[in-house]
Amino acid sequence: MTSTLVFYSKVDSFDDWKALLAPLLPEVRICTPEQVEDPESVHYVLAWKPPHGFFASYRNLKLLVNLGAGVDSLVNRDDLPAVPITRISDPDMGRMMASYVLFAVLRYARDIPAFEKAQREHRWHYLHPRLPSSTRVGVLGLGELGAYAANELARQGFDVRGWSRSPKQLENLTCVNGMDNLDGFIASSDILVVMLPLTPQTQGLLNAERLALLPEGSCFINVSRGAIVDQQALTAALASGRIGAATLDVFDREPLPPEDPLWAMENVLITPHLASVAIPASAAQQIADNIRRLEQGESILHQVDPGRGY
């Protein structure tokens, strides 16, 4: 019986993924849920945010591949199959995320918003550049993507500090860990970059009290998940100038509703959750390799535990 891989995503191109996976998995039929001919043949699922009950008819499923690096969409689900679950760990995703974070940090460190404002007002406005080492950048979360971005910022000469729940050691970075050190870490960040996974422990972590710890006029960058931050408190802090500016790629509701006050704030840059996405051309080989490893009885790579959020 030919094995079937089912692809599900409302934001990714089935045709692109199929074109790249098919040559790597010639023995596997690749299709959408609507194209499944025999549910019993479905051994693999490649999906992003599948609806509840999606897996019920795939009784012979062997592997679930989460179409992305973050697995928060799988946390607290009661319908997950009892099979290995992997995420995409793609160097191109790391580079894409690091370039976005570097852009956002440089934009503030080089006072680009002030020059954008001056241009709109037809006003010549000189601000003397500062050394990167004078800017303290706090990277909140040192997982695969967070560590990549933090290292790139350090390479550019910024004073980079990283925080994680458990101990980490990275060259050229000051690393702290544990909830006991979180408040002090936030308070010592001129620019705070949020790169934590969304888990039950991190949901709402950056509440009004913790946001108030940021230095007056500091900058805030969120490229992880909106639910980690109290968005109402962040909006209020930005409106008052307590937080000077923000670059936001993620929100507590997506798409961000047109009536949300963040849209109208001159000190906020909004992007539509695209800081880093899975690139089929570089991730397809990894998916095919894991399927082969599974069929040969070898341990699969990048396995995750949705119960812990990573």
Active-site residues: which are they?
225, 273
> Residue 262, SS3?
helix
Tokens of 149: 């971005």
Q: For residue 242, give Cα distances in angstroms to 160, 173, 265.
A: 22, 27, 14
**What is the C-alpha to C-alpha distance for residues 263 and 96, in angstroms, rounded to an integer?**
24
Pinpoint the alpha helices (H) of the chain.
14-24, 91-109, 112-120, 144-155, 182-187, 208-211, 231-240, 280-295
User: Which position has the token pair 């852009």?
Assistant: 103
Q: At residue 308, what are phi and psi to the nearest 5 degrees?
A: -105, -10
Q: How far is CA 76 from the centre of its chain?
A: 19
Buried b (16+ CB within 10 A) or exposed e, 47-65: bbebeeebbeebeebbbbb
Instruction: List the one residue out of 174, 186, 261 whose CA is nearest residue 218.
Output: 186
Buried b (16+ CB within 10 A) or exposed e, 158-168: bbbbbbbbeeb
Tokens of 308: 């812990």
